[in-house]
Amino acid sequence: MSWVNGFYAWLFGVQPKKQAKGESAAPDAAGKAEHAPPHPGGEADAGAAAHERPEPRAAAEHRPAPEETLYEHASDNTISQGKQHHWLFDEGVLHWNQRRKETEFRPNFSGFNFVKQSQRSRLWGCPADLVGDERVILASIDLRFADLQGCTLTRADLRRAHLQGANLRNANLAHVNFENADLTDCDLRNAVLDGADLSRARLVNANLSGASLKGTNLAWADITQMSACEKHLREANLFGAVRRVLAADGVFQS
C-alpha cells in the first residue's frame, strides 16, 4: 500500500480494500469497450443475425403449402374459362349439368363461337328427332346466369334449355331452336333471333330491345312483361302467345 493510501486510512479511519489480482484490468477493459469506436461491420452483422432468426411458429403454420392449387382457395365463380370449356366440350351436357349442381359458379362463354368450337367435340351432331344438318346440341343444358354476350350459336339445339338470367346481348342466335326453353329475365338486347324457334318458350321479363326478330316463331310462348321493339315484333309470329300489352314510349311490353 502506498503512503498516500496509508495516510488517508489513518486520517479517516477507513480500512482500504484489498484488490485481487487482475481485478484492475477488468474495469479498464470494460471502459475501453464502452469508449471504443463501433466496428465497421457491426450493424451489418446485427442485420444478418436478425434475418437468421427462426420464423415464429404461428407464421410458419399459416404459410400455404406449395402443392395447394388455385381452385382450392378461389371462389367458385372465378373458375377459368378453360376449365369450363373442358367440362362442357370434353365431358358433355350431362356432366356439365352435374357440375352445375355440385359447384356454384357463373358460366362464362362471352364472345365464344360455339359452332366453330363444337365441330370436333361431342356436342356436334344431328339430333335424332330433328330433320336437317349437323349442329351444336345443347338440349336441356343448364346455363342459368351465364355470360354469353356476343357468342355465336346459329342453328343450335337449345330445346328445354335453362337460360334464366343469362346475358345474351349482341349474340347471334339465328335459327336456334329454343322450343320449351326457359329464358326468364334473359338479356337479349340487340341479339339476332332471325328464324329462331321460341315456340312454347318462357320469356317472362326478358329484354329483347333492339333484337332482330325476322321470321322468329313465338307461338304459344309466355312473353309476359317481355320488352321488345314493337316494329320488330310485327315481323315475328305471335300466334297464341301469352301477353299483356303495356305500350309506353314506342316500346312494346307484353
Could you tell me the pLDDT band of residue 4, with boundaries at 50, 70 and 90?
Answer: low
pLDDT of residue 155: 96
**In the chain, what are the domain boundaries?**
3-53, 80-254
Query: Rounded mean pLDDT of 20-31?
Result: 48
> Per residue in 207-224, pLDDT tens?
999 999 999 999 999 999
- At residue 108, the 3 state secondary structure works out as strand
- Please give the residue that has the higher pLDDT: either 61 or 236: 236
User: Does position 41 have pLDDT exceeding 60, yes or no?
Assistant: no
Query: Rounded mean pLDDT of 56-75?
Result: 41
What are φ and ψ of residue 237, in 5° steps?
-95, 110
- Per DSSP bridges, beta strands 135-136 and 124-125 are antiparallel
Distance in angstroms (rounded) separating the CA atoms of residues 40 and 67:
44
> Per residue in 160-202, pLDDT tens?
999 999 999 999 999 999 999 999 999 999 999 999 999 999 9
Distance in angstroms (rounded) separating the CA atoms of residues 37 and 24:
22
- Per DSSP bridges, beta strands 227-229 and 135-136 are unpaired
> How high does pLDDT run on average in the chain?
79
Q: Which residues contact 178 (CB under 8 A, 6 or more apart)?
A: 158, 159, 161, 196, 197, 198, 201
* 216, 193 Cβ separation under 8 angstroms: yes
Taking every pair of Cα atoms in the chain, the longest distance, rounded to a whole number of angstroms, is: 134
Could you tell me the pLDDT band of residue 55, with boundaries at 50, 70 and 90?
Answer: low
Query: Rounded mean pLDDT of 56-72?
Result: 42
Task: Give how far Cα 59 sits from Cα of 50, 54, 56, 64, 65, Å.
Answer: 16, 11, 6, 10, 13
- CATH number of the structural domain 80-254: 2.160.20
Could you tell me the pLDDT band of residue 50, with boundaries at 50, 70 and 90?
Answer: very low
Could you tell me the pLDDT band of residue 79, with boundaries at 50, 70 and 90?
Answer: confident
Task: Give how far Cα 253 sits from Cα of 11, 50, 129, 150, 206, Å.
Answer: 121, 72, 34, 24, 10
Q: Which residues contact 69 (CB under 8 A, 6 or more apart)?
A: none
